Amino acid sequence: MSGDQCHIIVFANEKGGTGKSTTAVHTGVALAAQGHKVAMLDLDPRQRTVTRYLENRTETMRRRKIDLPIPEFEVFTGSDDAALEKQYRTLAERNQFVIIDTPGRDDAFAKYMATRAHTLVTPMNDSFVDFDLIGQVDADTYKVKRLSFYSELIFDARKVRARDGVTIDWVVLRNRLQHLEARNMRRVGEALNELSKRVGFRVIPGLSERVIFRELFPSGLTLLDKGHLGGMGFAHVTARQELREMVAGLALPDMPQLAAKAKEEEPSAA
> What is the extent of the structural domain holding 182?
3-262
CATH number of the CATH domain containing 180: 3.40.50.300
DSSP string, 145-199: EEE-HHHHHHHHHHHHHHHTT---EEEEEEES--SS--HHHHHHHHHHHHHHHHH
Residue 267 domain-assigned?
Answer: no
Mean pLDDT of the 133-137 span: 90
Mean pLDDT across the chain, nearest whole number? 87
Residue 86 domain-assigned?
Answer: yes
Residue 269 domain-assigned?
Answer: no
**Residues facing residue 205 across a β-bridge:** 174
13 vs 98: which has the higher pLDDT: 98
Residue 270 domain-assigned?
Answer: no
Q: What is the pLDDT of residues 1-12, one digit of tens each?
A: 556 789 999 999
Q: What is the pLDDT of residues 88-131, one digit of tens each?
A: 999 999 999 999 999 999 999 999 999 999 999 999 888 888 88
Q: What is the pLDDT of residues 15-64, one digit of tens each?
A: 888 889 999 999 999 999 999 999 999 999 999 999 999 999 999 999 99
Residue 103 domain-assigned?
Answer: yes
Residue 115 domain-assigned?
Answer: yes
Burial 95-112 (b: 16+ CB within 10 A, else e): bbbbbbbbbbeebebbbb
**Backbone angles phi and psi of 178, in degrees to 5:** -80, 150
Residue 191 domain-assigned?
Answer: yes
* 187 CB-near residues (< 8 Å, 6+ apart): 128, 142
Please give the tally of structural domains in the chain.
1
